[in-house]
Amino acid sequence: MKTVAEIETKKLRDREHVISTNGEKSFFIYEVDGEFPDRTVANFIVSKDVNMVWKKLEPVAKLRMNIKVRE
């Protein structure tokens, strides 16, 4: 993969994660032909023509809670 796109990875909890693509820092996941592969990008080998889509993970707050503990 690193020969067709500029990809930076970082090992977190025994797994390699993509933290930058083409200089844009963030966390990314990828799909190949509309499916999520069962391996990390470092272990993915392109052996035929594929359509690969990189998806940037954006933090989105869905719920905020103020929790007060009574004494």
How many Å apart are CA 63 and CA 45, to the nearest integer? Answer: 39
Bridge partners (DSSP) listed for residue 17: 10
Instruction: Take residue 7 and report the two structure tokens written for it.
Output: 């990809």
Place of tokens 């083409």: 22
Residues of the chain with pLDDT under 50: none
How much is the pLDDT for 21? Answer: 83
Amino acid code (one letter) for 36: F
- What pTM was estimated for this model as a whole? 0.62
How much is the pLDDT for 13? Answer: 83
How much is the pLDDT for 17? Answer: 79
How much is the pLDDT for 11? Answer: 84
